Each structure stands twice: as C-alpha cells, then as structure tokens.
Amino acid sequence: MNIAKPNSYRSGPDDRGHFGIFGGRFVAETLMPLILDLEKAYTAAKADPSFQGEMNGYLKNYVGRPSPLYFAERLTEHLGGAKIYLKREELNHTGSHKVNNVLGQIMLARRMGKKRIIAETGAGQHGVATATLCARFGLECIVYMGAVDVERQQPNVIRMEMLGATVMPVQSGTRTLKDAMNEALRDWVTNVHNTFYCIGTVAGPHPYPTLVRDFQSIIGNETKAQMQEIEGRLPDSLVACIGGGSNAMGLFHPFLDDPSVEIFGVEAAGHGLTQLHAASIAGGRPGVLHGNRTYLLMDADGQIQDAHSISAGLDYPGIGPEHSWLHEVGRVNYLSATDDEALAAFQLLSKLEGIIPALEPAHAIAKVMELAPKRPKDHLMVVNLSGRGDKDVPQVGDILRGKK
C-alpha cells in the first residue's frame, strides 16, 4: 500500500474523528447526541486551566505521579544489549496506567453533571480504577465484565466490590471484553440521561480515542523529561503491549514526531498467529465495531471472531483506530508475543528485578528479550510496565504448578 507520509504524526484526528480511514462515529442515533455533548465538554475542559490544575493535583497526591523511570540493571546485564528502562506505571494507585485516563474522564463526568458511571473491563484494571475514582467522588459505578474474565480475575472483582461498585458478569457472546463493551453500550443507550460511559482504552466512537490518548500521554511526556534528566537525550526505542492500546498510545504519542525513536507495539499472539490469538493487526483487517473503523479479527462474512490471550486485558479482537493508522503509515512496528513467551517474561522480570509484572506488559517484556540483545549497549530502550501482577498471581500459579 502506498500511503503518503504526513507532516506530523500527532495532528490527528480530523474534526470527524478520523485517523486516515480509521476511527469515526459508528454508533446508534440514540448515542449520537451524547457523543457530541462529550466532545463539546472535552473541548471546553481542555481550554479551562482550572480543569488541568485540579487534575494535576490528583495526579500528584492521589495517583502518586510522576511514576519513576527505572534503569533495569539486571535485566540489561542478562540480555547483554540495549540499556533497558522501565516506566513504572504499575506503581500508580490501583496498580496500572488505567487510573490516568479514568481520573480525566471522571472529572469530565463531574463537569457534565453525570452521577452514574458505567465501564467495561477485561483484566479488571480499568474496572478497579473506575470503581476507585467513583468511590473517591461519591458516584454510582457499574462495571461490565465478561463472565470468563470474572472467573480468571477474581482478585480484581473482589476489589471492585469492596470499593462499592456493582460488577455485572456478561454472559452474552464469548463472555470476554468485547461482550462487556457491547453490554456497556446497551446500558448507555438505555440510561442516556444520567450516565457517563468511561471507556478504558483508545477505542470507541470519536472523541474517546482522542481523549483517552490525551489523558494517557502523561506517560510519554514524563518519560521524555525523565530520560532527558537521566541520560541527557531522547530514548532510542519504546516498547509497549497492546490490547486496545491505551498504555502504548500514552507512551508513544509524545515521541511520534521524533524520527530517531523506534517504536514497537506488542500484540497478544495467544497460542500462536495460526491458531487462537488476539493480534488484530497481525491477523485482522479493517472493519467497523464498537463505534470505530479499525483492524479487527473477523471471518469472511464480517462476523467478529473470538480472540484469545492468556491475559484478559489483551483479549480483544480489535485495537484503537490511531494504532491502525500508525501501522498503515509505518510509524510504529507492531509485533506479537505468545502466551508462552509472556509467561517466560513474567517469570524472568520477577526473578531478575523483583518486580512481578501483569501478564499484559509481560508481552512487552517478551519482545524486549528479543530486541534488546540485538541493540548496542548505548541504545536506550524504554518499556512501559503498565501494570503489576498481583491480579495474575492465582492464574499464573495454577499454570506453573500444572506444568511442573
């Protein structure tokens, strides 16, 4: 495909929410006025210094930002190549990057006078972050979660309930993240007047991919400043895992117009790309689902196919539309890691650095294990450690014991 290179990779989307052919607003008429309201409210909030000021206060004192940029010395020695830095998003309150976006959306919901918050969740990290901020601001919180995910992410289900949220197990379809999103959209269409839909990733109808990206861009902005302080220059490469792609977009976006920075997104290859997986770019093609056009896993009739990943947070048959565009224009390289590779990385990071990663960023670590040894020792590689592994301890424990 011959696609002209844009002057900037950071100027999108256009005013209709398009990144090239991707994105858009493919929603039922009932939701259209709500999405237009949200866009208006977000534009006004962005222009209001008090909005950013209030958010900065919570980011510092409630979330615990900035998150450290940590030199992973033993991992670097072990791999024998690039100098590896971990962006420690797992140290945020609630244990992942998800809270950055949820804080922004909850503050928007408050500005819009919405008292009832709904969310979808896969691994439960977005659900926990939403439940947390709803508790903090006294808002009703309903979290839709696929029944399969409720089963494999019990610790997060219990956390959400302790925080006062109602967790709704979704029994329709494949009973994972995509069905949780369908069910959240059905709730929203039914409760239009008082409800704010807090989407957890850089997907959905415009303006969600943009506003989630903007709220997550603090990851990349901090990384840029921290690397400047530590090493006096830009990093040479960035690596992040991708389900919908919000942690990756947050790290990547501030660097898109720095041509010296190589960027790698890592999708979940599940059992392998020729079998069940969740790698939409590697194994999918453009289609329309959940309000946007993007790369999707589907059959010849346009029916959405089951995704599979060991990690509930990556178990989604699509990807944010801006990632689809960055793939087509060639700015970001999209790779994939299998369940087994992620498990090996999970164990390696735990043992070498004393950091138990979530299974999601373990996919990114898995590709670092391939990329870093091929790079020189003065190559600076940043990997987004988007979440901590506490939630995965029961599941990984079972798998490892079963294998022994």
Partner 1 sequence: MTTRIDTRFAELKKQGRAAFVTYVMAGDPDLATSLEIVKALPKAGADVVELGIPFTDPMADGPSIQAAGLRALKAGMTLRKTLDLVREFRKDDNITPLVLMGYYNPIYIYGVDKFLADAKTSGVDGLIIVDLPPEEDEELCLPALKAGLNFIRLATPTTDDKRLPAVLANTSGFVYYVSIAGITGAAAADANAVGEAVARIKRHTRLPICVGFGIRTPEAARAIAERANGSVVGTALVDALKNSLDADGRATAKTVNAVAELTAALAQGVKGAQQAAE
Residues that bind partner 1 (CB under 8 A): 16, 24-34, 172-173, 178-179, 182, 185-186, 189-193, 287-291, 293, 296, 298, 300-304
Tell me the two tokens of residue 171. 């029994």
At 89 the three-state DSSP class reads helix
Least distance to partner 1, CB of residue 159, Å: 28
Q: Is 162 helix (H, G, I), strand (E, B) or coil?
A: helix
Nearer to partner 1, 120 or 353 (CB): 120
d(CA 317, CA 306): 7
The gap from C-alpha 244 to its chain's centroid, in whole angstroms, comes to 5
Cα torsion 249, 254, 256, 260: sign:
negative
- 120 included as an active-site residue: yes
Tell me if residue 95 falls in helix, strand or coil: coil
Nearest-approach distance from CB 12 to partner 1, in angstroms: 17
3-state secondary structure of 171: coil
Residue nearer to partner 1 on the CB measure, 192 or 230 = 192
- Minimum Å gap between C-beta 290 and partner 1 is 7
Residues 158, 153: Cα–Cα separation, whole Å:
9
Q: HSE, CB side, 13 Å, CA atoms: give it for residue 143.
A: 35
Furthest-apart CA pair in the chain: how many Å? 57
**Which letter does DSSP use for residue 391 in this model?**
G
Instruction: Please pick, among 87, 98, 224, 367, the residue that the annotation labels catalytic.
Output: 98
Distance (Å, whole) CA 287 – CA 340: 29
Q: Residue 33 CB, nearest distance to partner 1 (Å)?
A: 5
Q: How far is the CB of 284 from partner 1 (least distance, A)?
A: 11
**Which of 39, 89, 90, 120 is an active site residue?**
120
Start-to-end CA span in the chain (Å): 47
Pick the closer one to partner 1 by CB: 149 or 179. Answer: 179
Considering the complex, state which of residue 290 and residue 308 has its C-beta at the smaller distance from partner 1.
290
**Cβ distance to partner 1 smaller for residue 177 or 362:** 177
Contacts for 71 with CB less than 8 Å, ≥ 6 apart:
83, 84, 85, 230
What is the DSSP secondary-structure string of 72-121? -HHHHHHHTSSEEEEE-GGGSTTSBTHHHHHHHHHHHHHHTT--EEEEEE
Provide the H-helix boundaries in 266-391.
280-283, 321-328, 339-353, 359-371
Nearer to partner 1, 207 or 265 (CB): 207
The CB-of-151 to partner 1 minimum distance in angstroms stands at 21
Which contacts qualify for 278-284: CB closer than 8 Å, 24 or more apart?
A: 278/243, 278/307, 278/308, 278/309, 278/314, 278/315, 278/316, 278/317, 279/336, 280/316, 280/317, 280/318, 280/319, 281/319, 281/323, 281/324, 281/327, 281/334, 282/334, 282/336, 284/317, 284/318
Active site residue 231: no
Query: Is there a catalytic annotation at residue 29?
Result: no
How near is the Cβ of 190 to partner 1 at its closest, in Å?
A: 4
Given 322, 360, 386, 391, the catalytic residue: 386
For residue 316, the one-letter residue type is: Y
Considering the complex, state which of residue 35 and residue 371 has its C-beta at the smaller distance from partner 1: 35
Q: How far is the CB of 37 from partner 1 (least distance, A)?
A: 10
* Residue (50 or 190) nearer to partner 1, CB: 190
Q: Is the dihedral of CA 44, 50, 54, 55 positive or negative?
A: positive
- Return the active site residues: 98, 120, 386
